[in-house]
């Protein structure tokens, strides 16, 4: 079981995630998000991430120019694409930067899963998130979930991660229902948009690891982009 804490905005939050046993730390580069980080701040925060803690940059429909600036400024282990990027765009980004790519897919009903095989052919990982409400300002981090039973018994050709409305109180049920071996949280461990609570990070990670059978925290990336 591996846990990703997304939207980290301070060294204290990084320390809380690492201490709790999370495997991934997500940095958001999307100005409309309350979790957005200026590149200068992100560079400072990344320095607090120890070796083996997978550093993930989340972007939304980013141009090559913006991605160039991020990759050139910050040492990263993975790019997370959280917009409307096509499979062709995912493949282009993966080839351009030589980094593992995680593609987020919004799900609200079974038919939303139909695109996953196309993305699985070009991405290193898939993040299955709740589809954003029509009036939402953000593509993710909205604190909403979906019917986890849609994922029960399903597997794809690349590793996948569950997100969307997860909290310390429901993550165990989500893992048991879906069979997920990786989970992602952002708003579910916040006391206000963009402000993580170390106690909630610890509680979420502990609940996820216990539901997944425990095990050591991830420490490196294997060839498929999975923290191991």
Residues with active-site annotation = 6, 129
CA gap 211, 191 in Å, rounded: 24
Assign 3-class secondary structure to the chain: CEEEEECCCCHHHHHHHHHHCCCEEEEEECCCCCCECCHHHHHHHHCCCCCCCEEEEEECCCCHHHHHHHHHHCCCCEEEECCCCCHHHHHHHHHHHCCCEEEEEEECCHHHHHHHHHHHCCCCEEEEEECCCCCCCCCCCCCCCCCHHHHCCCCCCCCEEECCCCCCCCHHHHHHHHCCCEEEECHHHEEECCEECHHHHHHHHHHHHHHCCCCCCCCCECCCCCEC
């Amino acid at each position: 079981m591996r846990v990703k804490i997304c939207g980290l905005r301070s060294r204290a939050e990084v320390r809380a995630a690492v201490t709790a046993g999370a495997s991934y730390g997500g940095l958001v580069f999307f100005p409309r998000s309350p979790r957005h980080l200026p590149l200068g701040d992100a560079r400072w925060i990344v320095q607090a991430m120890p070796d083996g803690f997978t550093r993930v940059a989340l972007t939304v429909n980013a141009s090559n120019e913006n991605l160039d600036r991020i990759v050139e400024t910050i040492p990263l282990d993975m790019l997370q694409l959280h917009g409307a990027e096509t499979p062709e765009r995912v493949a282009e980004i993966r080839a351009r930067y030589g980094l593992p790519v995680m593609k987020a897919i919004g799900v609200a009903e079974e038919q939303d899963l139909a695109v996953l095989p196309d993305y699985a052919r070009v991405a290193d990982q898939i993040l299955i998130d709740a589809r954003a409400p029509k009036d939402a300002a953000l593509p993710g981090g909205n604190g909403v979930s979906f019917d986890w039973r849609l994922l029960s018994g399903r597997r794809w050709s690349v590793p996948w991660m569950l997100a969307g409305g997860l909290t310390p109180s429901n993550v165990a049920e989500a893992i048991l229902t879906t069979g997920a071996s990786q989970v992602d949280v952002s708003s579910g461990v916040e006391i206000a948009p963009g402000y993580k609570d170390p106690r909630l990070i610890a509680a979420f990670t502990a609940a996820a690891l216990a539901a997944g059978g425990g095990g050591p925290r991830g420490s490196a990336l294997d060839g498929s982009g999975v923290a191991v």
